[in-house]
Structure 1
Amino acid sequence: MLETSAGLGQLMTIMIMAVALGLDAFSLGVGIGMKGIRLLHILKISLLIGLFHVLMPLLGMFMGYYVSSLLGQVAALVAGGLLVLLGGHMVLNSFKTSETRMVDHRSLLGMLLFSLSVSIDSFSVGVSLGMFESNRILTVLAFGICGGAMAVLGLLLGRRVSRNLGEYGEALGGAILLAFGLAFIF
């Protein structure tokens, strides 16, 4: 009986962490979705986020005890920096014509930067979990599924909102990402 309740407690903890990490992908997905994103790009970005939400905590778990004291602040700064760069880029791009834009969030580089920025905090969580006995497969699958699903929801919500915002959607989406990046840093 004691093992069953301990296992259930561990499962609940993993699910709460998965949802918390997925909320990041959801809220930032709203910002990206406001640019007026196609369903195919929503699928691609969400799959990449799900993949990163599996790989990053898995890598973190393997790092575990060795770097846990150094990683917390560094991970938040890197995630914040990436979001500030991506958000600032989106705001600047909203004022440019389509011929003068540099990196598009739908490009492979843009999708990778976004996926990494919303998944880097799961690396820190993975480091913490690496110090404890936990079911790695269950943990990374829960993180990946939750991250990908919540990214889809955020991107779809942002897409719906963007229809009402018109040309200002990209600037607002970039401002949201910029704000989250600054919140990560400070």
Structure 2
Amino acid sequence: MAWSSPLMWAQFVSIGLMALALGLDALSLGLGLGMKGIRKLDILKVSAVTALFHVLMPLAGMWMGGYISVLLGKVATMCGGLLLLLLGGHMIYSSLHPGEERSYDHRSFVGLLLFSLSVSIDAFSVGVSLGMFAGDVLLTVGMFGAAGGLMSVIGLLLGRHVGEWIGEYGEMLGGVILMAFGLKFLL
């Protein structure tokens, strides 16, 4: 299909808007994580893994899209919401009990995977829906990955600066943000 085709531009704009919407979760949750305090190198790692998950999750969803789209879309969203509630609750608990175990460590392999999975689980649901329609898969996952990674960087950097300003309450506020998104996914 030629780029001069109105159909191609419509597909490009539609995918771009979906990528932006999915990336906003990464921005918001990155803001919450950034308020905990995060090094610049960790911002790059978290954002790169988030971008990777924003490619892999919709790709996996597209492959499964023809089979069980309605069921998996709701289950994936609920799992993402529960995961965010747990992560947010743990961050709040850790901020109220500073001498005890800290919240999940975004620098650890498991913490990095949990964060990236939580911000990209909805991309799986979108991928399931998109899997039923013929479209440009590379364009779709490329735009999803770019938006997820870029929005993650922006959120983490903003959160880092806001976290310095807020001080010790940054982790608690980040936990509240994660829990609010978890409730949004569940309701």
TM-score range, shorter chain: over 0.9
The residue aligned with 1:56 is: 57
**Post-superposition offset of 1:111:** 1.3
Task: Name the amino acid aligned to 1:47.
Answer: A
The residue aligned with 1:36 is: 37
Task: Name the amino acid aligned to 1:43.
Answer: L
Task: Name the amino acid aligned to 2:81.
Answer: G
Residues 112/61 of structure 1: CA separation in 2 closer, same or farther (3 Å cut): same
Task: Name the amino acid aligned to 2:166.
Answer: L
Residues 98/109 of structure 1: CA separation in 2 closer, same or farther (3 Å cut): farther
The residue aligned with 2:105 is: 104
| Structure 1: tracts of 5 or more residues without a match | none
**Post-superposition offset of 1:99:** 6.0
Q: Is 1:122 aligned to residue 130 of structure 2?
A: no
| RMSD (CA atoms) | 1.6
Task: Name the amino acid aligned to 1:64.
Answer: G
Alignment TM-score, normalising by the size of structure 1: 0.95
Partners of 1:18 and 1:7 in 2: CA distance: 16
Partners of 2:40 and 2:171 in 1: CA distance: 17
Partners of 1:143 and 1:137 in 2: CA distance: 10
Q: How far does the alpha carbon of each residue in 1:103-151 deviate from its partner, in whole angstroms, 9 at most, with x for none?
A: 3233221111110011010011111111001000111010001100000
**Post-superposition offset of 1:98:** 5.7
Counterparts of residues 20-99 of structure 1 (less than 5 Å): 20-97=21-98
Aligned pair count reads 186
Partners of 1:34 and 1:138 in 2: CA distance: 33
Check whether the contact 2:94–2:100 (CA below 8 A) recurs between aligned residues. no
Q: How far does the alpha carbon of each residue in 1:85-111 deviate from its partner, in whole angstroms, 9 at most, with x for none?
A: 111111111123366326323322111
Alignment TM-score, normalising by the size of structure 2: 0.95
| Structure 2: tracts of 5 or more residues without a match | none
Q: How far does the alpha carbon of each residue in 1:134-183 deviate from its partner, in whole angstroms, 9 at most, with x for none?
A: 00011101000110000000000000101111111001101110111011
The residue aligned with 1:170 is: 171
Partners of 1:40 and 1:175 in 2: CA distance: 25
**Post-superposition offset of 1:64:** 1.0
Partners of 1:61 and 1:94 in 2: CA distance: 39
Partners of 1:20 and 1:69 in 2: CA distance: 20
Check whether the contact 2:91–2:103 (CA below 8 A) recurs between aligned residues. no
Partners of 1:176 and 1:154 in 2: CA distance: 12
Instruction: Report the identity percentage.
Output: 61
